[in-house]
Amino acid sequence: MSTMNEIYTTLGISPAVYEYGEKILAGLKERFERIDETAEYNQLKVINAMQKARVSAECFNTSTGYGYNDIGRDTLEQVYAETFHTEDALVRPQITCGTHALALALSANLRPGDEMLSISGKPYDTLEEVIGIRPSCGSLAEYGITYAQVELLEDGNFDYEAIKNAIRPQTRLIEIQRSKGYLTRPTLSVTQIGEAIAFVKKLRPDIIVMVDNCYGEFVERLEPSDFGADMIVGSLIKNPGGGLAPIGGYIAGTKECVERAAYRLTSPGLGKEVGASLGVMQSFYQGFFLAPTVTASALKGAIFAANIYESLGFKVIPNATEERHDIIQAIEFGFPEGLTSFCEGIQFAAPVDSYVTPEPWAMPGYDSDVIMAAGAFVQGSSIELSADGPLKAPYAAYFQGGLTWPHAKLGILKSLQRLYEKGYVKW
Ligand SMILES: *Cc1c(COP(=O)(O)O)cnc(C)c1O
């Protein structure tokens, strides 16, 4: 016999836990179908872009040195621009991570005396030093670029009155962060972002609108660039890299904004013309090709986790039934062992490093110990199944990723098994 139950037993999932999972899953069929439809739409969007850009086997060749006339690199940038409906794009292994892509987009498009305005409240942690909210060497503040911020309303929507009042003559760039990141506010939908862009552009068409698109790509059919964002920015070790890109970031947007970013990334005068692709092109293309279905797998995992843990009485953000606009799931355990057991389960389900037990440690930049679970092919990749959380109240685990739905499912069942065995949950 080779039943599903048996193979799960082999992997340490007891029949009680497996059956509980199946019961929850039975109620999620329709939602999963809608996720598959979004993936289908986005898959076709990407294929169409690849065909229009005439991607060929030659595009996977490598370049070294200056990288002049690298057809693979140039064509890939066309594919991104075509997919996100922008004039141009910069997609490079020389952009080291999401923070770097955002710092690049900002520093390239702001000049001394300009003001940057965030209209979605506090930006992602790592941007605090980029902007100079927390003083740092090389921050925008050091270059005489000022910063202002408008909080979101209580209900998570944009505060239009406050935005209008915060826009000053020197306001040059407005930042909108799509994903909640690791805050507990709701994630913004693309429609909501579109409304805010229209509002800003009506008041001041000259203001550049940049969207931090991290964790949002391919979750919906449209992207903020479909609603007039001048730049959307993200990391290739999240959604658009499809788990295959070993490094990289992207900026897709208007010709002018992308050009300025290219001059800043390489050098004035050189811009997009240089930058060897160093053998990563095939993984960039193939990862982007897989990204819509990979994102769908991660979304299913997030929804499954929300439904399991909400049914057991834990607070989950977003809740079990909410519409999704990014792939992050938070689960508040309320006690430290809940958080650590959850992370252990995720680690034990990994294809890589499944035999290690994650331990809380004092990570630089945090005021409490942090526990992290990741058994990833690409180090630090958060499109791969991963979880982490600070060891302090409310003992929330932040969970994201899953290159395939069966792996995301196993991870969540493994976490449940762990909590079940220790007697922290029962049904
Ligand atoms: C991950 C993330 C970033 C930063 O990306 P890194 O690759 O970790 O530097 C910025 N903004 C948001 C919303 C993110 O989720």
Name the amino acid, one letter, at 237: I
Residue carrying the six token digits 């990994």: 350
- If you measure from the C-alpha of residue 384 to the centroid of ligand 1, how many angstroms do you get, rounded to a whole number? 14
Tell me the whole-structure pTM to 2 decimals: 0.96
HEC letters along 355-388: CCCCCCECCCCCCCCEEEEECCCCCCCCCCCEEE
Please report the beta strands in 134-248, taking only residues with DSSP state E, as ranges in sequence order: 146-149, 171-177, 208-212, 231-235
Q: Atom 6 (ligand 1): residue with closest C-alpha? A: 98
- If you measure from the C-alpha of residue 390 to the centroid of ligand 1, how many angstroms do you get, rounded to a whole number? 17
Specify the pLDDT at position 365. Answer: 67
Specify the pLDDT at position 1. Answer: 58
Tens digit of each residue's pLDDT, the chain (427 residues):
589 999 999 999 999 999 999 999 999 999 999 999 999 999 999 999 999 999 999 999 999 999 999 999 999 999 999 999 999 999 999 999 999 999 999 999 999 999 999 999 999 989 999 999 999 999 999 999 999 999 999 999 999 999 999 999 999 999 999 998 777 788 999 999 999 999 999 999 999 999 999 999 999 999 999 999 999 999 999 999 999 999 999 999 999 999 999 999 999 999 999 999 999 999 999 999 999 999 999 999 999 999 999 999 999 999 999 999 999 999 999 999 999 999 999 999 999 999 999 999 988 767 789 999 999 999 999 999 999 999 999 999 999 999 999 999 999 999 999 999 999 999 9
Three-state DSSP class for residue 342: helix
Gap between the terminal Cα atoms of the chain: 29
Residue carrying the six token digits 């519409």: 323
Q: Smallest Cα–Cα separation from 382: which of 190, 236, 182? A: 236
Residues enclosing ligand 1, CB less than 6 A? 97-99, 102, 124, 126, 177, 179, 181, 212, 214-215, 235
Mutate to test the pocket of ligand 1, among 118, 125, 193, 214 (most ligand atoms within 8 A of CB): 214
Q: Atom 3 (ligand 1): residue with closest C-alpha? A: 98
**Nearest-angstrom CA–CA distance, 136 and 133:** 9
- If you measure from the C-alpha of residue 237 to the centroid of ligand 1, how many angstroms do you get, rounded to a whole number? 10
